[in-house]
Amino acid sequence: MKFFQERKAKFLVGNAFYRCESEVVRDLGVLAAAIYKGDRGSLRVLDVMSGSGVRSLRYWLEGGADWIWTNDSNPELNDLLQQNLGAAIASGCLKLTHRDANRIFFDCYDRKDYYDLVDVDSFGAGLPFLDTMLWATKIGGLIYLTSTDGKTGTGHLPENSLKMYGSYTRIHPAAQEQALRLLIGKMQQSAASKGLGIEPIFSLFAAKTYRIMARLSSKPRLNAENYGFLGYCHACGQYQTIDWRKLGQNHCPVEGSPLTLTGPLWLGKLHDRNYLEQMITLAENWQWPKRVELLQIMRSEADLPPYFYTLGEIGRRGKMDIPKRSQLILAIQNRGYRASATHIDPQAIKTDMTLLDCISVARELTTALDFKNLL
């Protein structure tokens, strides 16, 4: 059998599910875990859908986990996991089981066996495990939840979204960010129903996967300001956030036409900038330059409005060729607005400037660059 190498981890895949494209997801999870271990002094991990076991192995080798409960519901993977995780098992730092994930969560709650990091890497939306995984998480601990159901979150299956999230989704250019915010909103709802709260550490869209790393807090964080609706005008392309008290006033200020609404969903910060700063420093120490670059983009977009404008949309609506993203961002910033790249789409920007003004700035910039090239 062929051995795979991912960072410090060497492992077999066999018949287990493994995507090398998701290395970035595991990298950020390990960085967040290592920061937590450094802050708290200990790290106990519950990895309930281990697949090949590479995540558990990396939490042990790189994240500094003191104890890991590794589980996969498929007992046919036992031999493979025993081989991949043998060193951790022999050290007494890891327990391997083959049980239903929800039963494990309830078992943890019943025995008051709470974990610092609960990792659920499920196929699909991951929501069937959301309520129960909270029971196994320590207050102040981390939750790492996966969704691979892009169609529901991006508005292609709005009826599914209504069933799963209690929200109605629509299609628009920033729909991938919408999917992340739906997932955070559902996490906030589930926590609030238990008198708890969720604080997003980072929200990642990579390799067609949506991943939320969040901290479980002792007080609800959900309120009418950070949980509401996103309006989109198909006529002019402008976005607008709509709170619950103004649902009857959802008209585009430019066109006067009704906005297409998605929601409710999370409207607050996508990332915790302070935590990302620590992750950046650690990634630099570990010499992970690509992760440093990614985290720097995430840091810059953390508290910008809950949508983005694609360069293609700016060019199409402005009927022009568009400048480089970096040039447009700098030009917007020079006019006193906030602007950033977004990790979600390499051909998009996040800014508090309106789309019409972005088009105007892009047109001025393109004209100036064309004139400069003629000289």
Q: What are phi and psi of 207, to 5 degrees?
A: 55, 40
Closest CA to 294 of 28, 8, 20: 28
pLDDT of res. 247: 86
In this structure, what DSSP letter does residue 279 have? H
Closest CA to 99 of 72, 70, 128, 123: 72
Q: What is the pLDDT of residue 313?
A: 96
* Prediction pTM value: 0.95
d(Cα 136, Cα 140) in Å, to the nearest integer? 12
At residue 373, the pLDDT reads 59
Please tell me the predicted confidence (pLDDT) of residue 126: 79
Copy the structure tokens of residue 175.
Answer: 């729909």
Please give the pLDDT value at position 251: 86
Residue 166 zone, left/alpha/beta (φ > 0; ψ -120 to 50; rest): left
pLDDT the model gives residue 123: 84
Torsion of CA 97, 99, 101, 107, to 10 degrees: -80
- Give the integer Cα–Cα distance in Å for 142 and 140: 7
- Kindly give the parts of the chain with pLDDT less than 70: 369-375
Q: Which CATH class is domain 3-273?
A: alpha beta
Strand order in the sheet with 115-120: 94-97, 67-71, 44-47, 115-120, 137-147, 209-217, 197-206
Mean pLDDT of the chain: 95
Write down the pLDDT at residue 249.
80
Domain 309-375 coded CATH 3.90.600.10: no
**What's the pLDDT at 369?**
63
- Residues in contact with 167: Cβ distance below 8 Å, sequence separation at least 6, in sequence order: 161, 182, 185, 262, 263, 264, 265
Please report, for the chain, the start and end positions of each structural domain, with discontinuous segments joined by +.
Answer: 3-273, 309-375
- Write the pLDDT tens digit of every residue in 14-54: 999 899 999 999 999 999 999 999 999 999 999 999 999 99
Domains 3-273 and 309-375 share a fold: no
